[in-house]
A and B are shown apart, each in its own frame.
Chain A
Amino acid sequence: MNIRHHLDDATLMAYAAGTLVPGMALLVACHLESCADCRDRLAQAEAVGGALLEELPPVALDSDNALASVLGLLDSEPPAAAAPAPLSGARAGGPAMPKVLAQHLDGRDFDALEWRSLAPGVKQIDLHPGGAGATRLLRFAPGVSVPHHSHRGNELTLVLRGSYNDEVGRFCAGDVADLDDQVAHQPLNDANEDCICLIATDAPLRFSGLMGRLVQPFIGM
């Protein structure tokens, strides 16, 4: 995968610090699966966390027996983790589907999902990973553009299939658009297959123009 658009350093730092809303963290984890560049920068951002951990004045544990009681647990079996959705090997959910997303979708392929139509050529699925903001899969047909919008907070878009063009550039599968409240854009699918994106925000979007105002109530963002 030839990735040209990456996560912002500030976003990787927020992921490292654990402060991203769940939907954005999900999207970041998806991009990290296929991007060594961002994995390297995340390792650095996590090293900042490690260094800061060492800087804190230690706080003694309440009980003098804490170590003994943990030592007593070392042989016990860990509680069975909630079993992740069974995934049939590397192709589970299709080649374009990051594993962590496939788990979230219980291993279903994009075409097996129940898409909700928003406007001609535009469909979406609301994911509900919890927390503030909105997380959705958006699917738009060739020649279709998403209404012009800006954001109050941050918006992350990860292209999963197909490609689009907007004011920022051309985005292909694996690319991520990491935009803050200063950027307004209108992605256009100028290729000849559907474009499927994962989009996560930490605040509602602001649509501009008539089309935007018409669509807003339907998208419910």
Chain B
Amino acid sequence: MREEWTACLARMAETRDRALFARLFEHFAPRVKAYLIRLGMAPAQADELAQEAMLSVWRKAHLFNPGKANASTWIFTLARNLCIDRLRREKMPCYELDADMPDGDDRDAGEGAVISDRLAACIRRLPEAQAQVLYMSYYDGRSHSEIAEVLGIPLGSVKSRLRLAFDKLKAMWGESS
């Protein structure tokens, strides 16, 4: 499933084929919109920004490296950066656009996609307390201090729950390489 989108994006980057862009748009634009609404953006603005995000998918496709990220991860980072620019009128300090430096472990696209499917399954199996802080961070866009305040737990507990969740996800990552 996800492998297909990654291959589609990589092919679009090469061929500049608008039909491939249309397929990516139909799949990802409604998901990006959903994500932006979850982050607290008004639906009309989320709609507009989702379109803008898809436009940058087209414009920045030459920067997409399927060995480093799959399509959903890459589009997630584009939407996140746009959202930060828009909501806070600040640029996300960002190293990645000129990051030609070697990575410790480049993977091929197929491998990344398999990991992504397993990652989603793994997130669904996280203990409630860990899943909760993960969702509050990624979906609600809350800082760790805000999460601590909302849940009435120490900041250190928020961070240790996130670390525990991340350890599980990384262990899965290790198994599949």
- A-to-B contact residues, CB < 8 Å: 8-10, 13-14, 16-22, 25-26, 28-30, 32-33, 36-37, 39-41, 43-63, 66-67, 69-71, 73-74, 78, 99-100, 104, 129-131, 153-154, 180-182, 202-203
Q: Which of A21, A48, A99, A181 contacts B138 (CB 8 A)?
A: A48
Could you tell me the distance between the alpha carbons of A30 and B46 in the complex, rounded to whole angstroms? 30
Q: Is the CB of B166 within 8 A of A71?
A: no
Chain B residues with CB under 8 A of A153: 145, 155
Could you tell me the distance between the alpha carbons of A50 and B101 in the complex, rounded to whole angstroms? 22
Q: Is the CB of B166 within 8 A of A51?
A: no
Q: Which of B51, B81, B123 contacts A61 (CB 8 A)?
A: B51
CB nearest to A40 among chain B residues: B104
- The secondary-structure label for the interface of chain A is helix
11 examples of A-B residue contacts, CB within 8 angstroms: A41-B170, A47-B112, A48-B138, A51-B116, A53-B32, A53-B75, A54-B120, A59-B37, A67-B25, A180-B156, A181-B156
Chain A residues with CB under 8 A of B79: 53
Chain B residues with CB under 8 A of A51: 72-73, 116, 119-120, 123
Chain A residues with CB under 8 A of B139: 52, 56
CB nearest to A20 among chain B residues: B143
- Is B22 an interface residue, CB under 8 A from the partner? yes
Q: Which of A20, A37, A57, A74 contacts B104 (CB 8 A)?
A: A37
Q: Is the CB of B26 within 8 A of A67?
A: yes
Q: Which of B2, B30, B69, B154 contacts A59 (CB 8 A)?
A: B30
Question: What are the 3 A-B residue pairs with the smallest beta carbon separation, nearest first?
Answer: A50-B73, A58-B30, A50-B72
- B-to-A contact residues, CB < 8 Å: 2, 18, 21-22, 25-26, 29-35, 37-38, 43-44, 46-47, 50-51, 54-55, 58-59, 68-77, 79-81, 83-84, 88, 90, 92-95, 98-99, 101-105, 112, 115-116, 119-120, 123, 134-135, 137-139, 141-145, 154-156, 158-160, 162-163, 166-167, 169-170, 173
Q: Is the CB of A62 within 8 A of B143?
A: no
Q: Is the CB of B37 within 8 A of A78?
A: no
Among the interface residues A16, A37, A66, which one has the most CB atoms of the partner chain B within 10 A? Answer: A66
Q: Which of B18, B31, B88, B120 contacts A71 (CB 8 A)?
A: B18
Chain A residues with CB under 8 A of B98: 99
Q: Is the CB of B29 within 8 A of A10?
A: no
